[in-house]
Chain A
Amino acid sequence: MSVETREFLLNMGPQHPSTHGVLRLILKLDDELVLEAEPVIGYLHRGVEKIAENRTYKQFIPHTDRMDYLSSMLNNWGYIRAVEKLAGIEVPERAEYIRVIVGELNRIASHLMSIGPTGLDAGAFTLFLYAFRERERILTILEKACGARMTYAYFRFGGVAQDLTSDFINACREFLKDFPQRVNEYEELFIENPIFKKRAKGVGILPKELALSCGASGPVLRGSGVSRDLRKTESYSVYSQFDFEIPVGESGDSWDRTWVRLEEMRQSTKIIEQALENLPEGPCFNPDVPRLLMPPPGEAYAAVESPRGEQGYFVVSDGSYKPYRVKVRSPAFSNLSLLPHLLPGHQLADVPIILGSLDPVFGEVDR
């Protein structure tokens, strides 16, 4: 009598503790080995691009918040940059510095929210709660800037909605005083933990060509050794005035991607410190921008470096007060298209680790 083994289909359904949102993964498994993986997305599709065609330019700003809801400030920024390019609006320097400060704070918050759940998926519950402790502090600080904790709609064409108070600046400085120690703590507790290293090193190796071919960006691309960060390649806003480095991984495995995110938190801390020191005086928005913005007809594409990668907005205008078409170039969508190529050959227990290191946010993937 011979024992027959069969492959079976496992559905890691839209509701699952570790798919970071609503993702359905149809896995063909041979015992613990993944043979094929097919992601099914679209569970959070809200038709944001169609909505854009029926709102004024300013009314669309809160919609951009809700796409990558973990880094709303940077979403706002991408859209605002595209429209400013289209309409030729200038931004005063103080406003640019404020944008950098809140953008980098948001980047730290988003990376904490990425490393925490990666820890949770790997089994380290405590790291998850520690990351949330820091994230709470950041959200409280950002609340001082604009009144909202998660979806800010803080940016406006030509600047920001309101100026930073001294309360915000003091709270920010307090936070930055002991944050580097915490990052060291996370590194010791989790990233350098031998068990996590065993789980994540050599898992989900992403070759450079595949990453470029799929349009991967952000820590996913930098983990594979490509040093591309829009803050340096395009030096938009005032990033050229700050001194910071881009962490680049070596082998493109999940550990490298998680490590890149940790290092980016450190670099963001540096940027915020420099920005707070050199914050210039001046207006925080451009008073010449009309209330109802009607940019000249044309197309413009602008991108920012969001925690997930290159988030771009392609805005097409026909001269009226409503955008003709807004296309959101979502980094998580491109990163997620790597899954069918990355997962086969790995074990079932590696799937949450790989997914966590790609760090998708489904508001952005599905729009």
Chain B
Amino acid sequence: MEEVKLLGKIKKKFRKGVEAQAKEDIIEVKVELPRLLELLAWLKSKNFNYFSFLTAVDRKTHFELFYHLVNIESGEKVLVRTEVEREDSTVPSVVSLWKGADWQERETYDLFGVTFEGNPSLKRILLPEDWEGFPLRKDYEDPDVVRRPEYF
């Protein structure tokens, strides 16, 4: 199967710092931050030219970034995940590889505060420019927000 071949290629090329496994219809690759750009550039060269989305999840001690890429011709999908520090986190930007990463990185910066080094215009996109704080973090406090009571 295509997935297994790709899995094999990844394992061969990136021995250290990368773990890959094939789930139902997608290949998940866990990579460490220093090798992230290398892995993504390698995937782009393997024809993964469709940049689906980039998002972050706040795991309380660190952030986890997810990149979802698709190879249109073969239909393979790859989910790249990496862990990033919460404070002062800088991640290399992939705008040079995929143009669509521009807005997705701005959104992740806007909502989480992850800085992308190399993004030409890293400013807030969804929230007003003068907003303070990063709302999607788990420890975000806003005096205007009313907490619902926990029911269960």
> What is the interface of chain A, defined by CB distance below 8 A to chain B?
41-42, 45, 47, 49-50, 54, 209-210, 212-216, 226, 228, 233-234, 292, 299, 301, 310, 312, 314, 316, 321, 324-325, 327, 329, 333-334, 336-337, 341, 366-367
Given A50-B135, A314-B53, A321-B152: A341 touches B126 (CB 8 Å cut-off): no
Q: A232 to nearest B CB, angstroms?
A: 10
Q: Is the interface of B mostly helix, strand, loop or mixed?
A: loop
Identify which of A54, A324, A325 contacts B148 (C-beta below 8 A): A54
Using CB atoms, name the residue of chain B closest to A226: B72
Q: Are A42 and B58 in contact (CB under 8 A)?
A: no
Instruction: Indicate the member of B100, B128, B135 with the most A CB atoms within 10 Å.
Output: B100
Using CB atoms, name the residue of chain B closest to A320: B152
B68-118 interface with A by 8 A CB criterion: 68, 72, 75, 79, 98-100, 102-104, 107, 111
- CA A8 – CA B49 in complex, angstroms? 36
- CA A24 – CA B148 in complex, angstroms? 34
- CA A299 – CA B72 in complex, angstroms? 23
B21 interface residue, CB < 8 Å from A? no
Q: Are A41 and B58 in contact (CB under 8 A)?
A: no
Q: Is the interface of A mostly helix, strand, loop or mixed?
A: mixed
Using CB atoms, name the residue of chain A closest to B121: A38
Contacts of B49 in A (CB 8 A): 209, 212-213
Identify which of B75, B103, B111 contacts A337 (C-beta below 8 A): B103
Identify which of B25, B51, B55, B75 contacts A327 (C-beta below 8 A): B55
Q: Are B52 and A329 in contact (CB under 8 A)?
A: yes
Q: Are A42 and B127 in contact (CB under 8 A)?
A: yes
Q: A57 to nearest B CB, angstroms?
A: 12
Q: Are B53 and A337 in contact (CB under 8 A)?
A: no
Q: List 22 A-B contacts (CB under 8 A).
A: A49-B111, A49-B136, A54-B147, A54-B148, A213-B98, A215-B51, A215-B53, A215-B98, A233-B75, A299-B66, A301-B79, A312-B53, A312-B68, A314-B68, A325-B57, A325-B58, A325-B136, A327-B66, A333-B107, A334-B53, A334-B103, A341-B99
Given A215-B53, A312-B52: A337 touches B135 (CB 8 Å cut-off): no
Number of interface residues of B (CB under 8 A): 33
Given A213-B99, A329-B52, A333-B103: A314 touches B125 (CB 8 Å cut-off): no
Q: B129 to nearest A CB, angstroms?
A: 9
Q: Are B125 and A214 in contact (CB under 8 A)?
A: no
Q: Are B72 and A314 in contact (CB under 8 A)?
A: no
Q: Are B52 and A310 in contact (CB under 8 A)?
A: yes
Contacts of B7 in A (CB 8 A): none
Using CB atoms, name the residue of chain A closest to B24: A85
Contacts of B102 in A (CB 8 A): 337
Using CB atoms, name the residue of chain A closest to B64: A316
B11 interface residue, CB < 8 Å from A? no
- CA A329 – CA B50 in complex, angstroms? 14
Q: Are B51 and A214 in contact (CB under 8 A)?
A: yes
- CA A50 – CA B127 in complex, angstroms? 13
Contacts of A210 in B (CB 8 A): 99
Q: Are B135 and A47 in contact (CB under 8 A)?
A: yes
Q: A356 to nearest B CB, angstroms?
A: 20
Given A212-B49, A213-B49: A42 touches B98 (CB 8 Å cut-off): no
